[in-house]
Structure 1
Amino acid sequence: MKPGDVAEEDVVIPAGPTDLAPGPILMDLRAMNIPTKIQGGKVAIAETVTLLKKGERASAQITDLLRALNIKPLKVGFKVTGAIDESGLFYSPEVLSVTKEDILRLLGEAHMRSLNLAIELGEINRHTLAPMVQRAAVRAIALSMKLNWVSDLTIPLLMRKAVQLAKLLEEKIGA
Structure 2
Amino acid sequence: MSQTTVINKLGRTSYPERKVNLYENLQSLAKSYNVIALCRMTKVRSAQLMAIRKKFKNEIKILTIKNKVAQRAFEQIFEDVKGLEFLNKELEGQCALMFTNLSPFKLNLTFDKNKIFMAAKGGDIAPNELLIPAGNTGINPGPVLSEFKESNVPTKIDQGTIWVSKDTIVAKPGDVISQKLAALLSKLDVKPIEAGVSVNYAIAEGLEFKEKDLKIVVQEYVDEIVRSFQEALALTVEAVYFTKESTPLLLIKGKQHGLSLAVEAGYLSPETVELVLGKANAVAGNLSQQLSSKGYSPQN
TM-score (norm 1): 0.59
* Aligned pairs (5 A) from 1:36-115: 36-81=155-200, 92=209, 94=213, 97-98=216-217, 100-115=219-234
- Per the alignment, do residues 97 and 127 of structure 1 end up closer, same or farther by CA in structure 2, a change over 3 Å counting? farther
Flag structure 1 segments of 5+ consecutive residues without an equivalent: 134-175
Secondary structure (helix, strand or coil) at the match of 2:157 reads strand
Residue by residue over 1:109-129, the C-alpha shift from the partner in whole angstroms, topping out at 9 and shown as x without a partner, is 022224445652261338962
Shift of 1:12: 0.8
What is the CA deviation profile of residues 144-174 of structure 1, one whole-angstrom value per residue up to 9, with x for unaligned ones? xxxxxxxxxxxxxxxxxxxxxxxxxxxxxxx
- Number of aligned pairs? 131
- Specify the alignment match of 2:23 in structure 1: none
SS of corresponding position for 2:162: strand
Provide the C-alpha distance between the structure 2 equivalents of 1:36 and 1:109, rounded to a whole number of angstroms: 55
Cα-Cα RMSD: 3.4
Map of 1:120 onto structure 2 = 241
1:34 counterpart SS class: coil
Deviations 1:49-100 (A, max 9, x none): 1111110101111111111111111124543457899xx6978452661365
The aligned residue for residue 152 of structure 2 is 33
Structure 2 CA distance for aligned equivalents of residues 98 and 65 of structure 1? 34
CA contact (8 A) 1:12 1:50 kept: yes
* 1:20 corresponds to: 139
Alpha-carbon separation, structure 1, partners of 2:190 and 2:253:
57
Query: Contact 1:13–1:50 at 8 Å: present in 2 too?
Result: yes
Give the residue type in structure 2 aligned to 1:30.
Answer: K
Cα distance in 1 for partners of 2:176, 2:125 equals: 4
Shift of 1:36: 0.6
SS in 2 for 1:29: helix
Which runs of no fewer than 5 residues in structure 2 stay unpaired?
1-119, 258-300
Q: CA deviation at 1:37?
A: 1.2
Amino acid at match of 2:147: D
Map 1:152-163 → 2, pairs under 5 A: none
Q: Is the Cα–Cα contact under 8 Å of residues 82 and 90 in structure 1 kept in the other structure?
A: no
% same residue? 25
In terms of mean alpha carbon deviation, does 25-34 or 54-63 score higher? 25-34
When residues 49 and 126 of structure 1 are mapped into structure 2, their CA distance, relative to the original with a 3 A threshold, is farther
Change (3 A) 1:32 1:95: closer
Relative distance call for 1:128 and 1:12 in structure 2 (3 A) is: farther
Q: SS where residue 79 of structure 1 aligns?
A: coil
Structure 2 SS opposite 1:124: helix
CA distance in 2, matches of 1:53, 1:6: 9
Say if 1:96 and 1:14 are closer, same or farther in 2 by CA, change over 3 A.
Answer: closer
Output the amino acid matched with 2:225: L
Retained in 1: the 8 A contact 2:140–2:162? yes
Counterpart CA distance in 2 for 1:128 and 1:108 is 22
TM-score, L = length of structure 2: 0.37
> Alpha-carbon deviation of 1:42?
1.1
Name the residue aligned to 1:155: none
